[in-house]
Every structure is written in structure tokens, then in C-alpha cells.
Amino acid sequence: MGKPTGFLEYQRRQSGEIEPLVRIKNYNEFHTPLSREEQQIQGARCMDCGVPFCQSGLMLGGMTSGCPLNNLVPEWNDLVYMGKWELAFKRLQLTNNFPEFTSRVCPAPCEAACTCSLNGMAVSIKENENRIVETAYQEGYIRPQPPKMRTGKCVAVVGSGPSGLAVADMLNRRGHSVTVYERSDRAGGLLMYGIPNMKLEKQVVERRIQLMKAEGVAFKTNSNVGQDVDAEVLKADFDAVVLCVGASNPRDIKAPGREAKNIYFAVDFLKSTTKSLLDTGLADGSYISAKDKNVLVIGGGDTGNDCVGTAIRHGCKGVTQLEMMPKAPTARTDDNTWPEWPRILKTDYGQQEAIALFKKDPRLYQTTVKEFIANEKGEVCQVKVDTLMAKKDEKTGRMAMVPVTGKDFTLDVDLVLIAAGFVGSQPYVAEAFGVELDARGNIKTQPDTYKTNVKKVFAAGDVRRGQSLVVWAIREGREAARAVDTYLMGYSNL
């Protein structure tokens, strides 16, 4: 530890943000980083704890505590403090294939578990990570490094989201020949079309894809395995196949009037905007537009927030976000102690922008849709909303959110976006390969092997574990790559 008293001497400082009413005029990332010198001071705040919970990756209270990738956080924080950026990158690269992604979109369970956060402000781990990887790109520490030898084995990876890219990256490093199949027109999966530009500009994704191509990974886009690409052909042509197709089957809202027009899943809304933005700068008008509309977003998570921010950039008339659960407290409660993930109120960028623009928080807590109402054209025009309360189920003993009699109300809406999470992968890929599913609709694998019931077919990421964080998807990809390597070679040095 280069600065034993750093956490006492220096206050946490973070990158600046372009103020909401300015940044909503475009779709760019809006953080303004600290200087390198200022970032080095932030590295000095790391205590190099005897037990660094930041890198534990444990599940506590059903939620992630610390980094699932077991990043060597104290080590590279110290190197940041000393200005040894290349060494910091080498330590970071040991555990994380894509820090340029995680340092932008990860909710930072590392910081929630930081010892400094027990009685103060956590070390700015996420921004230190971002400065390390961006410095590595700027200074040329990151450059194509194709394997010096090839094993003669070939692997197909189905899906190019974070888990698929991690599998491909690791197996390519090992010397296997890897081909990644992606059903969309651009590689990146969730990173490309599921996360808006404001959180992850797409040139960041494309930069990594081009690097992987230069290192020998082949990408085949517009290739929908299980529909226009035969699963049996892949099994015959490759020594192993890894399914990394994500959990892209959206949860629907089964309320009367659901068939009304202008009700969309959030993933379709977000993808249409990103694709049109990349293709023509939105000039083609091919996206689902929220301009001049009263927008209702159903769901209070990250995807719902992304819908709020995107709708505002379209020029919506107003936006409301339904959240089923009660409003979270502003500080940890006695039953949510460190180093558990803090279950506290979070006002994200989209909600900040709605507050700045419309002078009120868009979220309505303890609510859900009771009924969709259509006009004479069949277009949704109103939504009946139930107010909910927590009540214990007498049979199960569990608490459930149930409607309060006489507390329903009506909202005028022109566009409804369903952001209620996902319920496993779309089934056609699993059916095409004949792999078994578990009770939750995810692909079932043998414990600790990532093997499915079908010979030479593996699975990793959200398709195996269910909807989760990007950082978990990368970890799954790394572990699956090791399992595939062992299957192909009899051992693994990954």
C-alpha cells in the first residue's frame, strides 16, 4: 500500500456529469473524467485491507457482494496511486477481459463492499478501473496479440454478448479457432443493442470487436442459429459449441387490454432506437418513437430507467414509471448491513433527467397495471393502475404485493413500455440443440462443468444462470472457456 493514510487524507471525488437538461440533447456518454493526477489520488484512498471484501464476489442475502470476477482491486488501486498505469492494466487484465464495459455499466458491488464504505465513502474503484483501461488504449498497452500457435481445435460460440465474447476471447488466447454467431446485424449482443449509448457508446463495443478480429476471432452476424443456421451443422463442423444467447425472453404483463396498439417490450424499444441511431442518426424514422407522447414505463429497474432516459431524448410529453415495490430507504437498515449490497434508494440518470425536465420524480411506488384501455383506433390511451400493499400469504408465509381495494386510478398514456425483466432465453435455440432446461427456463448444465446433456454442447451466461449482471456474464464466459478447454485438451491452463 503506497499511501497508508490516504483514506484519511483524501475525500472521494468522482467524474463530473454534464447537467441533465444539456445532456438530453444527444445520446452521448455524459461523464467528464478526472485528470490522471486526480485519479491517482483516488487510488491512494484504497486501504489494502487485510480482508478485501471488494474482490470477494460472494452472495450475501441473495445479492452480490464484491466483484464476481475477483478483480485484484487493492493491487491495481495501489499501482494507480503510483502512476504505474501499464502495470495496473496488466493486473486488471488478469481477471477481467472487458474492463471498458464493466467500468461503464456495472453497478459496482465492489464499492458497496469496500471497507471505506462501512463508515464513509467507498474508494472510487469503478472510475479507477475505467481510467486504467482507457489509458491502456490511449498509450497502446492494448494491441492485437494473436496466439503464436493454434491447437487445431475449433469452437462455435452462439451469441456475442458479454459471456459469448468472454468465451471467445479466452479460447482464442488458448489457440483454438473460434467463430462467433450473432443473429443481429452487429456483434455485441446486450452490449450493442440492450444498453443505450448514454451508458455505453457503441464505438467502445466496436473497438473491442475489431481487436478480437485482429487476434483471430471470426464473427458471423445476421446468423440466427436455430432458425437460418442449422444446429446440427454446427455440432458436426465444430469440436465444441457454447450457447451464450442470453435471457432475452421478456416477461409480459397479463392484464386486460394487452392487445392494444403502442404497447411494446422495453428491449424492442431500446434496440430500435440504437439501431436507427447507428444506421442513420435516427433520420430513417424506423424506431419506436416517444416524441410528443405520454409514456408509461412498467418496471423500476435499470432497463426501465434506460427507457425513461431514451424517451426523454425522443422528446416525450411526459413519462411515468411504475414500480411494484415500496420506495427504498435512503440509508441501510439494521437488517441490511455491510458488506451486503445496500438496498437503498437509487435515483439513476434517466430519473434525474425526468426530475430536471418535468419537475417531479417519474416513479410511482407500490403500483401495477390493472387494465389497458384502447381508443376507437385500437391504440392504448389510458391505463388503470392498482395501488399495492405488502401482505403475508397465509399458505406460504411469504410477503406478497396485493391490490388495495378502492385505491386504483387512471393515467392517460400514448405509449407503454414493458420493462418487467426476463424469464429465460427464447426457447428455439435450446430446442434446436435438444438441450434440457431447468425449472426457470434456463439451459441446464452439469455442476461446475457448463456441459449440457448434449455431447460437445456447453452453455454460459444469462441463458444458464438467468438474468444477471454483465460482470457475472463475463465470469461465466471465463469459467465456461476453461471447461471447454479441458474437454478439448484433457487439461486447461486458462
> How far apart are alpha carbons 316 and 418 in whole angstroms?
17
The residue out of 387, 418, 449 marking a domain boundary is 418
Q: 253 lies in a domain?
A: no
pLDDT for the residue numbered 61: 86
- pLDDT tens figures, 472-487: 999 999 999 999 999 9
Segment 8-12 long-range contacts (CB within 8 Å, at least 24 positions apart): 9/44, 10/41, 10/42, 10/44, 10/45, 11/121, 12/42, 12/45, 12/121, 12/122, 12/123, 12/124
Domain that holds residue 294: 263-418
Q: To 10 degrees, what angle do helices 266-280 and 302-314 make?
A: 50
Tens of pLDDT, residue by residue over 66-79, are: 999 999 999 999 99
Q: pTM of the full predicted structure?
A: 0.95
Whether residues 413 and 432 fall in one domain: no
Same domain, 278 and 319: yes
Residues 268 and 406 in one domain: yes
Do both 24 and 123 map to the same domain?
yes
270 and 395 inside one domain: yes
- CATH number of the CATH domain containing 54: 1.10.1060.10
Task: Tell me whether residue 343 is in a domain.
Answer: yes
How many CB atoms are located within 10 Å of the residue 13 CB?
15
Specify which residues 177 forms β-bridges with. 154
- Of 418, 436, 470, which residue is a domain's last? 418
Question: How would residue 1 be classed by pLDDT, with cut points 50, 70 and 90?
Answer: low
Residue 2 has pLDDT above 80, yes or no: no
Same domain (yes/no): 403, 428: no
Percent of the chain with pLDDT over 90: 92
What does the pLDDT average to over 133-143?
Answer: 97
Considering the domain boundaries, does residue 201 fall inside one? yes
Tens-place pLDDT, residues 450-463: 999 999 999 999 99
Answer yes or no: is pLDDT of 331 > 70: yes
Q: How confident is the model at residue 425 (pLDDT cuts 50, 70, 90)?
A: confident
Which pLDDT does position 394 carry in this prediction? 82
Q: How does pLDDT run across 21-40, given as a tens digit for each residue?
A: 999 999 999 999 999 999 99
List, in sequence order, every beta strand (DSSP E) within 316-359.
318-323
Domain closes at, from 389, 418, 447: 418
Beta-sheet pairing, 154-158 with 240-243 = parallel
**Is 146 domain-assigned?**
no
CATH number for position 440:
3.50.50.60
User: Is residue 48 included in any domain, yes or no?
Assistant: yes
> Is residue 385 one of the residues assigned to a domain?
yes
Q: Residue 145 falls within a domain, yes or no?
A: no
Would you say residue 86 lies in a domain?
yes
- Cell representation of residue 170: 479466452
335 and 237 part of one domain: no
- Count structural domains, the chain: 3
- What pLDDT does 440 receive? 87
